[in-house]
């Protein structure tokens, strides 16, 4: 199978002598990522999963027509893979750039003064570090950045028994600054729920929302909430623009790869559902939160993301990349918490 | 042992491995060239070569650990007896702390702006002397029998201690080595001084100690006195050559650009000063890329220059490895040996009774007919030829029918008819005999096959393909790093297709697999050019323009009158009038963007000329043939200026350079190097 697939890629490269389709570049990029990063993907690390090149061959060849196969191959070159080291770098940057800048500016710390270091230490002690979900490893974040902090809070875990007064008593303990961290944000549903609770606390702390990676839809929602709440600062480390996603509606400046792949992923989507059609998390070809209605933001469309994190694939990434059914083998199998 | 890993994944292997593994992996094929023997005998040598040409591997052969490892492994020393006895020490400028001299300015109590050079010189002296004593100790304490005796080393503790006391009191140290009473304490003092420099450069101390500031040493002085003292105390024999290696010389250019107060050439001139001492006690080995060799070779603090033959000899590794006029050169043998060693080291079982391992793995070069089959499907074969309306029907019909069965012959027939019909009205009557296939047209055809393939591939909107051992050798341009990179990417593509636990070496890897790896390597080397220092971006754009221009000419030349137009020629007379253009083209050559050859042009009035081609590995990316057929495109300075403008390259007007130093060939050396003209 690999041989058949690689010969097909060779044929596409040779047919693209003028380079207009960038097939050779797509091939180099995919191979480079395979060599350096794709082995890190945890859900396919087990022996039951074939190596990336075999998964890629199966995935592309499953498309059926050569035209569709080529579009899938080109789409694979647009995947944004966040490896373990990259994630660690994001943990560092969140603190060294975003959090420290926020603390310095919110407390009017003169960084050139002799007492700046002491003042920043005082600010840090006055700050509660929290994670929106346990997807962000708050312990790792604190260890990497040498922050001594206790207690630590995860908003998702406390959601079912939420009590603002108890939170103030047990966690905030008179602190005036709260940082909300999250490793990856798609539409921002969970993140904004936590932010709103935090903003409604009686002691009115200053709030920093600092996602490490956030997609265009979550970014839009976060900006809207921040604009309406002067106590909240929104400072994302990395934002994935709409142009980097294969959205339901074409973007004016989108890559021709997305334009050509859009009908292909729509055509193949029924196979992702499988023969039993009991896929509970089917949000359409462009992924979560396609087709859902949010109480504040109204009807939502699929994000169409192409992000794959080393530890799992987010659900707002295109399902064609991660969904496994009896009729479809994914490229980066997603390990879901909820029943699929 | 897994055979699903790439035996070529590590490209710079001989730089990082143990001495024992070096013995296994180092290819002595280069050493069969007697030019390289100068490295192992007395006399200063500049070992010049492009990135990855194998300079460091050759210099590492001088290390005492390697000498011992050969004996330990029972492997014969790969050189004749007169090149087997020496003791060596040295410094790798990029791996030592020498590059940190740009990290922090030095005090300004003496000559303004020159202190960094004095401290750098002192650091070099201490480092090299310490390494020389380390080499001595390695040989002196080895458990491998006969090494000491073979070299004549006699280092008893008493003798070494006496030597240490004597050396430390010599005036060449300016009092810098006090409290030395044993060999061990001498080494500790040397190391301590090196660490003071490291501490200063890393801002661990506020200032250099006064004792250090007042005991700076002169370029090469302590090294020479150390060697003299080792001989005086009969620790090493008088006749044993002492070879001092200084590798990664080109990195000093980066230091000159970065260090506060430094001018272009400053740090390199320190090394030239060491060479200029003409010291009979020891010999220097400088590993350098060609672009780093300053043309006038002035020594630090003086207007005097060093000269080839008088002060040093150049061993041009690129020149040695490249194909010559009437021979293929040693590179194919070198490449074959390197591949064999890599595969053996990876645990592969090599095929028996195989004349050429490269041919076994990569196969022969596909015939033109096989190659054309990849560009043309039979149904569309007729479209490979371009017919003119004015041509007689029998010509049109014959060529069209021929194209469906032998497209390459039809394409050559088209070119033949275009040429012949301009000379004779009988050409049409002869076409059925296919004169271009006859013995009298053997060379005419041979010279045009690649040209025809280019035109056919272009007509069919297909990329030209490369495969076979001879293509790999040709595309590598005599550079072992390029060759290994091509092997690496072909092997990677091979492994993408199969999962093999077999220890058998693959036989004739599919030509499609090879082409994929070669195309990837070509794109890599082109992209890499952009990242090169000192004008890489400009060379990147210029090469693209040159390639586009040459390819357009070859595509449009339907008569195939200029099959050698994948290169361009300029007369040396014209180049002499435009040193700026000459300098830019020389730089393109010295950074591995273009290759250059002298040649005698078709028109004698042009005089002696040079012809340039893309560096071979770039040819697949730009879809140009790699073969160098005679008669390149005869360009003019005005045409090159147009290409430079198209590439958005602005070249600096520079004065006509002085004549090359005695014995130096201006073809292989740089006229002006970046930044030096601003001095």
Q: Is the model's pLDDT at B128 over the cut of 70?
A: yes
For chain B, list residues whose CB is within 8 angstroms of any CB belonging to chain A: 374-375, 457-458, 461-463, 465, 492-493, 496-499, 512-513, 515-516, 519-520, 523-524, 623
Measure A33 CA to nearest chain B CA, in Å: 13
pLDDT classification of B569: cutoffs 50, 70, 90: very high
Which structural domains are found in chain A, ordered by start? 2-78+261-322 (no CATH), 84-242 (3.40.50)
Q: Do the Cβ atoms of A15 and B462 come within 8 Å?
A: yes
- Nearest CA to B649 out of B522, B502, B558, B536 is that of B536
Q: What is the pTM of this model?
A: 0.85
pLDDT of residue B376: 85
Average pLDDT score over chain A: 92
Measure B593 CA to nearest chain A CA, in Å: 21
pLDDT of residue B32: 87
Name the residue facing B523 among A10, A15, A28 (closest C-beta): A28
Residue A273: C-alpha distances to residues A281, A325, A326 (Å): 10, 7, 9
Measure B512 CA to nearest chain A CA, in Å: 7
- Nearest CA to B385 out of B403, B404, B401 is that of B403
Instruction: Identify whether the C-beta of residue B251 lies closer than 8 Å to the C-beta of residue B288.
Output: no
pLDDT of residue B129: 98
Report residue B334 as tokens: 């070198």
CA distance A87 to B69: 44
Q: What letters, b where the CB count within 10 A reaches 16 and e where it falls short, cover B181-217?
A: eebebbbebbeebbebbeebbeeeeeebeeebbebbb
Q: φ and ψ at A294, to 5 degrees?
A: -100, 140
List chain B residues with CB under 8 Å of A6: 493, 496-497, 512-513, 516
List chain A residues with CB under 8 Å of B623: 17
Q: Is the model's pLDDT at B324 over the cut of 80?
A: no
Measure A26 CA to nearest chain B CA, in Å: 11
Q: Is the model's pLDDT at B653 over the cut of 80?
A: no
What is the per-residue pLDDT across A240-279, written as a single tens digit (0 to 9) for each?
Answer: 999 999 999 999 889 999 999 999 999 999 999 988 877 7
Q: Is the model's pLDDT at B672 over the cut of 60?
A: no
CA distance A35 to A81: 13
Q: Is the model's pLDDT at B663 over the cut of 80?
A: no
Q: Which residues pair with A308 in a beta bridge?
A: A81
B48 vs A108, more confident: B48
List chain A residues with CB under 8 Å of B374: 14
Q: Do the Cβ atoms of B463 and A13 come within 8 Å?
A: yes
B311 vs A255, more confident: A255
pLDDT classification of B108: cutoffs 50, 70, 90: low
Q: Do the Cβ atoms of A17 and B497 come within 8 Å?
A: no
| Interface membership of A28 toward B (CB under 8 Å) | yes
Residue B105's contacts (CB-CB under 8 Å, 6 or more residues apart) are: B116, B259, B260, B261
Q: Which of B464, B496, B498 to mutate to test the interface with A (most CBs of A within 10 A)?
A: B496
pLDDT of residue B378: 67
Q: Do the Cβ atoms of B516 and A6 come within 8 Å?
A: yes
- Nearest CA to A67 out of A12, A127, A137 is that of A12
Q: Do the Cβ atoms of A31 and B457 come within 8 Å?
A: no
Average pLDDT score over chain B: 89
Rg (CA), chain B: 29
What is the per-residue pLDDT across A86-103, written as a single tens digit (0 to 9) for each?
Answer: 999 999 999 999 999 999
The torsion angle over the Cα atoms of residues B376, B378, B380 and B385, rounded to 10 degrees, is 70
pLDDT of residue B11: 81
Which percentage of chain A shows pLDDT scores above 90?
A: 74
> What size, in residues, is chain B?
679
CA distance B509 to B6: 14
Q: Do the Cβ atoms of A17 and B458 come within 8 Å?
A: yes
Count of Cβ atoms closer than 10 Å to residue B317 Cβ:
25
pLDDT classification of A339: cutoffs 50, 70, 90: low
Which percentage of chain A shows pLDDT scores above 70?
A: 99
Q: Do the Cβ atoms of A2 and B515 come within 8 Å?
A: no
What mean pLDDT is predicted for residues B453-471? 94
Q: Which of B463, B489, B490, B524 to mutate to test the interface with A (most CBs of A within 10 A)?
A: B463
Count of Cβ atoms closer than 10 Å to residue B376 Cβ:
23
Lowest mean pLDDT of A16-30, A145-159, B455-469, B556-570, name the range.
A145-159
Q: Do the Cβ atoms of B623 and A17 come within 8 Å?
A: yes
* Residue that the structure tokens 């002296």 belong to: B125
What mean pLDDT is predicted for residues B569-574? 94
> What size, in residues, is chain A?
340
Q: Do the Cβ atoms of B499 and A51 come within 8 Å?
A: yes
What is the per-residue pLDDT across A307-323, written as a single tens digit (0 to 9) for each?
Answer: 999 999 998 899 999 99
| Interface membership of A1 toward B (CB under 8 Å) | no
pLDDT classification of B667: cutoffs 50, 70, 90: very low
Count of Cβ atoms closer than 10 Å to residue B298 Cβ:
19
Residue pairs between chains A and B whose CB atoms are closer than 8 Å: 50
- Nearest CA to B618 out of B496, B414, B479, B468 is that of B479
Measure B495 CA to nearest chain A CA, in Å: 9
Report residue B364 as tokens: 């022969």
Q: Do the Cβ atoms of B516 and A9 come within 8 Å?
A: yes
Q: Do the Cβ atoms of A13 and B519 come within 8 Å?
A: yes
| Interface membership of A239 toward B (CB under 8 Å) | no
List chain A residues with CB under 8 Å of B493: 6
Between β-strands B45-48 and B283-288, what pairing exists: parallel, antiparallel or unpaired? parallel
What is the ipTM for the molecules in this complex? Answer: 0.76
Q: Is the model's pLDDT at B255 over the cut of 50?
A: yes
By three-state DSSP, how is residue A191 classified? helix
Task: Write a three-state SS string for A246-258.
Answer: CCCCCCCCCCHHH
pLDDT of residue B673: 36
Report residue A120 as tokens: 């920043």
| Interface membership of A22 toward B (CB under 8 Å) | no
Q: Which residue of B has its CA nearest to A15?
A: B462
Instruction: Identify whether the C-beta of residue B567 lies closer than 8 Å to the C-beta of residue B550.
Output: yes
- Nearest CA to B175 out of B135, B139, B211 is that of B211
What is the per-residue pLDDT across B187-234, written as a single tens digit (0 to 9) for each?
Answer: 999 999 999 999 999 989 989 999 999 999 999 999 999 999 999 999
Helices (H) and strands (E) in chain A, counts: 13, 10
| Interface membership of A39 toward B (CB under 8 Å) | no
pLDDT of residue B552: 96
DSSP conformational letter for B386: -
Q: Is the model's pLDDT at B621 over the cut of 50?
A: yes
Instruction: Identify whether the C-beta of residue A70 lies closer than 8 Å to the C-beta of residue A14.
Output: no
pLDDT of residue A299: 81
- Nearest CA to A189 out of A288, A48, A115 is that of A288
Q: Is the model's pLDDT at B604 over the cut of 90?
A: no
pLDDT of residue B116: 86
Q: Is the model's pLDDT at B2 over the cut of 70?
A: no
Geometric angle at alpha carbon B633, from B627 and B637, rounded to 5°: 130
Report residue A110 as tokens: 């003169």
Instruction: Identify whether the C-beta of residue B519 lies closer than 8 Å to the C-beta of residue B620.
Output: yes
List chain B residues with CB under 8 Å of A36: none
Measure A235 CA to nearest chain B CA, in Å: 33
């Amino acid at each position: 199978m690999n041989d058949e697939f690689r010969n097909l890629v060779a044929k596409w490269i040779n047919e693209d002598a003028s380079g207009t389709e960038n097939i050779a570049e797509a091939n180099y990029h995919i191979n480079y990522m395979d060599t350096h990063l794709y082995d890190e993907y945890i859900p396919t690390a087990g022996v039951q999963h074939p190596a990336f090149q075999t998964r890629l061959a199966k995935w592309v060849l499953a498309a059926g027509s050569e035209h569709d196969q080529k579009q899938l191959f080109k789409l694979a070159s647009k995947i944004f893979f966040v490896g373990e080291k990259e994630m660690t770098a994001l943990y560092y940057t969140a603190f060294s750039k975003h959090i420290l800048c926020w603390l310095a500016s919110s407390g009017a710390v003169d960084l050139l003064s002799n007492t700046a270091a002491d003042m920043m230490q005082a600010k840090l002690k006055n700050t509660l570090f929290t994670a929106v979900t346990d997807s962000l490893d708050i312990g790792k974040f604190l260890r990497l950045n040498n922050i001594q902090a206790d207690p630590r809070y995860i908003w998702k875990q406390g959601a079912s028994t939420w009590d603002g007064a108890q939170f103030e008593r047990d966690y905030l303990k008179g602190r005036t600054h709260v940082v909300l961290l999250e490793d990856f944000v798609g539409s921002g549903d969970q993140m904004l729920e936590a932010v709103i609770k935090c903003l409604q606390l009686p002691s009115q702390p200053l709030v920093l929302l600092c996602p490490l990676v956030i997609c265009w839809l979550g970014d839009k929602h976060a900006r809207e909430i921040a604009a309406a709440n002067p106590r909240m600062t929104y400072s994302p480390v990395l934002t994935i623009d709409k142009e980097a996603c294969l959205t339901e509606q074409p973007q004016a400046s989108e890559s021709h790869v997305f334009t050509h792949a859009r009908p292909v992923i729509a055509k193949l989507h029924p196979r992702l559902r499988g023969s039993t059609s009991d896929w509970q998390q089917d949000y359409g070809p462009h992924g979560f939160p396609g087709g859902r209605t949010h109480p504040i933001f109204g009807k939502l469309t699929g994000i169409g993301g192409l992000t794959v994190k080393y530890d799992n694939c987010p659900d707002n990434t295109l399902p064609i990349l991660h969904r496994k059914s009896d009729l479809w083998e994914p490229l980066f199998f997603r390990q879901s918490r909820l029943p699929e | 042992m897994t055979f699903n890993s790439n035996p070529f994944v590590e490209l710079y292997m001989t730089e990082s491995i143990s001495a024992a593994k070096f013995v296994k992996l180092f290819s002595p094929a280069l050493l069969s060239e007697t030019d390289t023997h100068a490295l192992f005998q007395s006399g200063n040598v500049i070992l010049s070569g492009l990135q990855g040409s194998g300079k460091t591997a050759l210099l590492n052969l001088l290390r005492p650990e390697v000498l011992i490892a050969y004996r330990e492994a029972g492997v014969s020393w790969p050189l004749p007896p007169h090149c087997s006895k020496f003791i060596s020490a040295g410094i790798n400028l990029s791996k030592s702390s020498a590059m940190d001299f740009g990290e922090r300015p030095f005090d300004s109590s003496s000559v303004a702006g020159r202190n960094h050079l004095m401290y750098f010189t002192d650091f070099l002296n201490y480092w090299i002397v310490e390494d020389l004593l380390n080499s001595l100790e390695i040989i002196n304490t080895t458990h491998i029998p006969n090494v000491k005796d073979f070299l004549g080393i006699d280092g008893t503790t008493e003798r070494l201690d006496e030597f240490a006391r004597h050396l430390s009191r010599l005036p060449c140290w300016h009092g810098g080595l006090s409290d030395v009473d044993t060999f061990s304490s001498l080494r500790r003092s040397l190391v301590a001084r090196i660490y003071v420099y490291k501490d200063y450069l890393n801002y661990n101390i506020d200032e250099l100690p006064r004792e250090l500031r007042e005991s700076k040493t002169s370029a090469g002085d302590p090294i020479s006195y150390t060697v003299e003292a080792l001989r005086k105390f009969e620790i090493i024999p008088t006749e044993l050559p002492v070879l001092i290696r200084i590798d990664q010389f080109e990195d000093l250019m980066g230091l000159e650009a970065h260090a506060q107060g430094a001018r272009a050439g400053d740090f390199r001139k320190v090394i030239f000063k060491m060479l200029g001492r003409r010291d009979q006690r020891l010999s220097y080995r400088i590993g350098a890329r060609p672009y780093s060799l300053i043309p006038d070779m002035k020594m630090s603090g003086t207007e005097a220059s060093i000269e080839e033959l008088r002060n040093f000899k150049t061993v041009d590794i690129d020149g040695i490895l490249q194909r010559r006029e009437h021979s293929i050169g040693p590179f194919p043998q070198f490449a074959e040996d390197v591949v064999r060693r890599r595969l053996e080291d990876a645990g592969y079982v090599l095929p028996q009774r195989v004349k050429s391992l490269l041919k076994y793995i990569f196969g022969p070069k596909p015939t033109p007919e096989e190659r054309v089959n990849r560009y043309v499907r039979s149904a569309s074969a007729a479209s490979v030829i371009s017919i003119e309306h004015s041509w007689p029907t029998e010509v049109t019909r014959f060529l069209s029918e021929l194209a469906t069965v032998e497209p390459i012959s039809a394409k050559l027939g088209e070119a033949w008819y275009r040429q012949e019909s301009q000379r004779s009205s009988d050409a049409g009557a002869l076409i059925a005999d296919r004169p271009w296939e006859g013995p009298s047209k053997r060379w005419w055809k041979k010279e045009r096959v690649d040209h025809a393939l280019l035109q056919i591939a272009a007509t069919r909107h297909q990329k030209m393909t490369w495969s076979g051992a001879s293509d790999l050798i040709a595309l590598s341009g005599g550079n072992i790093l390029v060759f290994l990179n091509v092997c690496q990417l072909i092997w990677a593509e091979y492994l993408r297709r199969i999962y093999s636990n077999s220890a058998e070496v693959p036989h004739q890897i599919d030509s499609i697999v090879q082409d994929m790896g070669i195309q990837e390597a070509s794109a890599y080397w082109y992209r890499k050019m952009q990242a090169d220092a000192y004008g890489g971006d400009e060379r990147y754009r210029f090469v693209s323009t040159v390639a586009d221009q040459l390819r357009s000419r070859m595509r449009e030349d339907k008569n195939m009158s200029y099959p050698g137009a994948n290169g361009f020629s300029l007369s040396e007379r014209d180049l002499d009038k435009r040193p700026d253009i000459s300098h830019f083209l020389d730089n393109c050559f010295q950074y591995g963007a273009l290759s250059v050859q002298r040649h005698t042009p078709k028109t004698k009035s042009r005089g002696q000329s040079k012809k340039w081609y893309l560096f071979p590995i770039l040819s697949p990316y730009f879809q140009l043939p790699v073969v160098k057929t005679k008669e390149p495109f005869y360009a003019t300075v005005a045409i090159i200026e147009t290409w430079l403008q198209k590439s958005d390259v602005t070249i600096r007007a520079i004065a006509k350079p002085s004549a090359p130093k005695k014995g130096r060939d201006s073809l292989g050396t740089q006229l002006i190097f970046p930044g030096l003209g601003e001095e």
